[in-house]
Amino acid sequence: METNYSVIFMTIINFCILVAILKHFFWDKIKGIINERQDFVDEQLLKVDEDSEKARMYLLENQRILQTAKEEGKKITESQKEKANKVYDEIVEDANEEAKSLLERAKTDIQREKEKAEYEIKKQAVDLAIELSIKALEENIDESKHRELISNFITKVGM
């Protein structure tokens, strides 16, 4: 196979003419489109960087707000817990005072009932003694009858 230099030379010249024509009519448009696309990509990258920075700032702000809310919630919880403990202590104290008051009233009632019972016993003893004296005065009592009356008296009094 023989190399034909004239065909190669003509092909190179045709290629150069084609490039010159394409450059003259289309190169500026292609370069403009490429530059526009490059500018658009650069703007998008810059916007992504800005948005990323904003997102990071929002994240930090939200974390700070969340931490503040947690601390405030903890303070509120502690405050309510202290109030509840205070109310609990007051309720227990009131209950203890009420129990003491009831105990004192019960003791007073028991003492009053005891005194009333003692009074009734003394009254019955006096009544029985009077009755015994009346019987003793009404009858001539011999010693056995006297012992029987005393025994009955003791039985009634409960000694």
Quote the number of domains for the chain.
1
Residues 66, 130: Cα–Cα separation, whole Å? 94
**pTM, full prediction:** 0.43
| Average pLDDT, rounded, for the chain | 88
**Could you read off the pLDDT of 21-33 as tens digits, one per residue?**
988 888 888 889 9
User: Residue 87 belongs to what domain range?
Assistant: 5-157
Residues 30, 22: Cα–Cα separation, whole Å? 10
Within 10 Å of residue 66's Cβ, how many Cβ atoms? 10
Q: Would you state the torsion angle of the CA atoms of residues 64, 66, 70, 71, taken in this order, to the nearest 10 degrees?
A: 20
**Could you read off the pLDDT of 88-126 as tens digits, one per residue?**
999 999 999 999 999 999 999 999 999 998 888 887 777
